[in-house]
A and B are shown apart, each in its own frame.
Chain A
Amino acid sequence: MNRHLLIPDLASKIEIAQECELKLAGIYADIAKNMTDPTLQSLIYSLSGDAYGHFRTLAIIQTLTESRDKRHTSPTEMQPYPTAHLSHPSMRKSSFRVRTMTAGNSGKGGESNGNELSSMQ
């Protein structure tokens, strides 16, 4: 299930489908909220759960195709099952560096401060 083996714009279609499922989940819940009959309400909001399930399935497909793509392009980049290495210190909570607002790109990852929400209003 490699993205390269699929129709070129399939990935974008999966993204569109994901967005639709997410919106549907919200719409079904909104419809259910206004249902006075409890049985109908349960039926309608179960559709919301279905849509959420579809969203999750599409997210998994998207993640799998992306990870496989990464493995194909750079076999050393992805190590899904990292093994303990004696030369590396063990990862502990205390080993995470605290990033301040003024620290810029000094945080883990380097290219970004990792805080995409800070760029939003």
Chain B
Amino acid sequence: MGMNCPQCNNYRAQLEASIQDEICDAGFYAGIADEAPTDILRLITTSITGDEYGHARLQASLLGVCPPPVSCPPSCPAATGNFTADVRMAVSGELSAITRYAELAGCAPTLQVRYLLTSILGDEYTHARIWSAMLVAGSLCSNT
């Protein structure tokens, strides 16, 4: 598949970086859950946190037999205390993740790996929609 293309160099290191990002996101989302204005939003945010943890585990499993050298974690943003601002940042992060997983899936060495990674892409897309729904949720209250 695409593994001989220049953009697919250091594929395992790219997966490792992706795991680090997922761990980072899980921490950030846990912070958002803590500042959620309602219990329902907190529960939904917590479930998204769990999804990100699952993504990290799936990719760690892919690298389980031949892990690359351990990398340094990226600089993870912390929740700011402003729920709306943090949810906007989460949407942005999910969109970046979609782009990243599209690239990783394109470079996947087998169809099985490709489909595992695109399943994560689908999760990130769903997350983006959920975050967006949270942002517009307030508008329903004033109109009904």
* Residues of chain A having any CB pair with chain B under 8 Å: 19, 22-23, 25-27, 29-30, 32-33, 38, 41-42, 45, 48-49, 52, 55-56, 59, 99, 101, 115-121
Contact = CB atoms under 8 A, between A and B. Distances in A.
Interface stretch (B19-27, B44-52, B102-110): B102-110
B103 A26 contact: yes
Contacts, number: 89
B118 A55 contact: yes
A45 B122 contact: no
A56 B118 CA distance: 9
Contacts of B80: none
A29 B95 contact: yes
Contacts of A52: 118, 121-122, 125
Interface residues of B, number: 39
Chain A residues touching B, majority SS? helix
A12 B9 CA distance: 24
Given A48-B95, A117-B63, 10 more contacts: A29-B95, A30-B95, A33-B96, A33-B99, A38-B132, A45-B125, A52-B122, A116-B109, A117-B66, A118-B66
Most buried by B among A48, A59, A99: A48
B42 to A, nearest CB: 22
Nearest to A42: B132
Contacts of A49: 125, 129
B11 A120 contact: yes
A99 B129 CA distance: 40
Given A118-B65, A121-B12, A33 B92 contact: yes
